[in-house]
């Protein structure tokens, strides 16, 4: 029986309330040296749902775990059928105002780095550079046997040719690019092997139950050490993957600021949490600092 990952977190009653005052965020960014840590919440305005917000996907969807994927051919068939369909929509998502504002801060030399928990590539599409993809990216595929990496678009083409007529309809795409399909819709979807060695292909992302590569974690820790402050954008920080960097910054005495509409597991370490939509909030901060976003003159 497939078990639901333990991903829930219940806010305590004594957490400080959120604010609508963007002053501390503007001050931190204006000072420079800010390390940004972004989560699924920054991509919701691009049509990609988050995991835990209002209407989040975890209320109806159990993400694939690494253990299920590697142990079961049927689980891999279900995953690749759903992901193949989801990729058509996921791959068409475009950066929103939040991504564009972060890119503008970077172009202005105010960010020391950008770590994202997202696998959608939207920060890079908005123009951000040197993005650390903590959980990898859906636009790459890796072989679990030989380690060969190939473009997702190449696999999408191969899967389309191997599964002619596969046109199920799903109303829901999840943050991991997985579309909701029934077993009947999955049917006998054909899964393809690595073209190099015939091994099992997996998207180049960190599944639930899988560890982030140690060298990537250490690189992020170094970015925290080098930063003046840490700004969390659109993450509940429920899992340790991102929370550890918030805890590290707090231990080092560096200001932690969070912009997230709902309470987060990192609020106890933050000087402020702004409870506003990210796109409009970050655009407002850019305007206050006189930073043009995507060529739009600051107001």
Give the position of tokens 């596969």: 166
- Structure-model confidence comparison of residues 175 and 56, the more confident one: 175
Strand pairing category for 201-205 and 149-151? unpaired
Q: Which residues are annotated as a binding site for Zn(2+)?
A: 143, 146, 194, 197
Nearest Cα to 246, choosing from 275, 273, 277, 216?
A: 273
135 has catalytic annotation: yes
Alpha-carbon dihedral angle through residues 19, 25, 27, 28, given to the nearest 10 degrees: 130
Binding residues, as ranges, are 39-59, 117-120, 143, 146, 194, 197, 234-236, 278
71 Cβ neighbours under 8 A, 6+ residues apart: none
What digits encode the pLDDT tens for the residues 264-297? 999 999 999 999 999 999 999 999 999 999 856 5
At 9, the pLDDT band (50, 70, 90 cuts) reads: low
Binding positions for NAD(+) are 39-59, 117-120, 234-236, 278
pLDDT at 63 (0 to 100): 77
pLDDT (0 to 100) of residue 179: 81
Q: Where are the beta strands (DSSP E) in the chain?
A: 34-38, 111-116, 131-133, 136-143, 149-151, 201-205, 229-233, 256-259, 272-274
As to burial, measured by CB atoms within 10 angstroms (0-12 exposed, 13-18 middle, 19+ buried), residue 94 is exposed
Question: Which of 269, 258, 298 has its CA nearest to residue 19?
Answer: 258
Q: Residue 223 belongs to what H/E stretch?
A: helix 214-226
Cα atoms found within 13 Å of the Cα of residue 38, Cβ hemisphere only:
29
Contact residues for 41 (Cβ-Cβ < 8 A; gap 6+) = 50, 53, 233, 234, 235, 236, 260, 261, 278
In this predicted structure, what is the pLDDT of residue 181? 86
List pLDDT tens digits, range 182-197: 889 899 999 999 999 9
Region 144-154: what's the mean pLDDT?
97
- Domains for the chain: give ranges and CATH numbers: 19-48+95-135+211-299 (3.40.50.1220), 61-92+138-165+172-205 (3.30.1600)
Considering 84, 135, 219, 269, which one is annotated as catalytic? 135
Closest by CA to 23, choosing from 280, 257, 266, 250, is 257
pLDDT, average across residues 146-159? 96
Q: What is the pLDDT of residues 234-262, one digit of tens each?
A: 999 998 999 999 999 999 999 999 999 99
| Residues 273/16, Cβ–Cβ less than 8 Å | yes
- How many CA atoms are closer than 13 Å to the CA of 251, on its beta-carbon side? 9
Average pLDDT of the residues in 212-241: 96
Least confident range of 57-71, 114-128, 257-271: 57-71
């Amino acid at each position: 029986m497939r078990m639901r990952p333990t991903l829930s977190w219940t806010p305590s009653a004594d957490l400080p309330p959120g604010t609508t005052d963007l002053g501390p965020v503007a001050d931190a960014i204006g000072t420079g040296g800010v390390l940004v840590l972004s989560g699924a919440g920054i991509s919701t305005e691009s049509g990609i749902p988050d995991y835990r917000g209002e209407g989040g996907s975890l209320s109806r969807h159990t993400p694939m775990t690494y253990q299920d994927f590697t142990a079961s051919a049927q689980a891999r068939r279900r995953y690749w059928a759903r992901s193949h369909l989801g990729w058509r929509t996921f791959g068409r998502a475009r950066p929103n105002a939040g991504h564009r504002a972060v890119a503008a801060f970077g172009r202005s030399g105010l960010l020391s780095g950008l770590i994202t928990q997202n696998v959608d590539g939207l920060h890079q599409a908005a123009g951000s550079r040197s993005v650390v993809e903590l959980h990898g990216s859906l636009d790459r595929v890796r072989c679990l046997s030989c380690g060969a990496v190939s473009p997702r678009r190449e696999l999408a083409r191969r899967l389309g040719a191997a599964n002619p007529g596969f046109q199920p309809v799903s109303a829901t795409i999840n943050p991991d690019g997985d579309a909701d399909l029934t077993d009947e819709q999955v049917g006998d979807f054909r899964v393809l092997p690595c073209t190099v060695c015939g091994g099992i292909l997996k998207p180049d992302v960190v599944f639930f139950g899988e560890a982030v590569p140690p060298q990537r974690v250490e690189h992020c820790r170094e970015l925290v050490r080098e930063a003046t402050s840490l700004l969390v954008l659109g993450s509940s920080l429920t899992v340790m993957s991102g929370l550890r960097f918030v805890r590290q910054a707090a231990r080092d005495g560096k200001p932690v600021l969070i912009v997230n509409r709902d309470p987060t597991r990192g609020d106890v370490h933050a000087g402020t949490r702004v409870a506003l939509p990210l796109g409009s909030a970050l655009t407002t901060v850019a305007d206050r600092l006189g930073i043009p976003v995507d060529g739009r003159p600051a107001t």
